[in-house]
């Protein structure tokens, strides 16, 4: 099954890569990162045999993209929808929403060891989108916040530790639970 998903990912990447590389080098590298972070995220969940995680990732990313696209359509006719380069559909940033969705999933599901590197790469993509005048910082922040919030709604930690008070008529204590 992993080979099947990897094959699909490689086919998609090979179809998109020529168009990406044709642009400027900084922009191209950010576009490649935008493709590789979600593919890598899915591969990580797959390598951990985390079927629930794969499902959560797909739902979270899908809903993030739907909400981001709806916001872009809603704001396109306003001054918020115009990009610094004069093109349409600038608010919120789709590239940023896409990569932050993956970073938020990795952070929420597997912890900071996975989340921090993904957020750093997301920051690079965000910087390039502003630097190349595709977006303003408000577009970046809105796309990131939207995806972050959606991830909090859909993604649960794989290994969660909970501490809760236990109160009864004859006792008072704490309960520690850990899911594996």
pLDDT attached to residue 7: 45
Ranking 33-37, 97-101, 145-149, 162-166 by mean pLDDT, the lowest is: 162-166
CA 59 from chain center: how many Å? 11
CB environment 38-71: b (16+ within 10 A), e (fewer): bbbbbbbbbeeebeebbebbeebbebbbebbeeb
How far is the C-alpha of 172 from the C-alpha of 157, rounded, in Å?
A: 28
**Sequence-distant (≥ 6) Cβ neighbours of residue 66 within 8 angstroms:** none
pLDDT attached to residue 178: 54
Domain boundaries, the chain: 2-178
pLDDT attached to residue 21: 46
pLDDT above 60 for 14: no
Contact 56, 110 (CB under 8 A): no
pLDDT, average across residues 54-58: 91
Angle separating helix axes 112-131 and 137-154, nearest 10 degrees: 150
Identify the residue whose tokens are 């990795």.
106
Q: What are the tens digits of pLDDT across the range 94-109?
A: 888 989 999 999 998 8
The pTM of the full predicted model, rounded to 2 decimals, is 0.72
CA 47 from chain center: how many Å? 18
pLDDT above 60 for 145: yes
């Amino acid at each position: 099954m992993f080979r099947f998903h990897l094959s699909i990912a490689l086919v998609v990447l090979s179809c998109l890569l020529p168009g990406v590389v044709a642009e400027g080098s900084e922009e191209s590298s950010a576009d490649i990162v935008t493709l590789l972070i979600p593919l890598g995220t899915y591969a990580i969940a797959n390598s951990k045999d985390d079927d629930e995680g794969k499902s959560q990732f797909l739902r979270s990313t899908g809903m993030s993209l739907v909400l981001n696209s709806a916001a872009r359509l809603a704001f396109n006719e306003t001054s918020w929808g115009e990009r610094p380069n004069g093109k349409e559909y600038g608010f919120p940033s789709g590239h940023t929403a896409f990569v932050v969705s993956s970073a938020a999933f990795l952070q929420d599901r597997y912890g900071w060891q996975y989340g921090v590197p993904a957020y750093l790469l997301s920051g690079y993509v965000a910087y390039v989108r502003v630097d190349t005048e595709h977006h303003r910082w408000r577009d970046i922040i809105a796309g990131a916040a939207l995806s972050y919030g959606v991830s909090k709604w859909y993604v649960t930690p794989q290994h969660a530790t909970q501490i809760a008070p236990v109160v009864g008529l004859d006792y008072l204590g704490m309960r520690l639970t850990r899911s594996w």
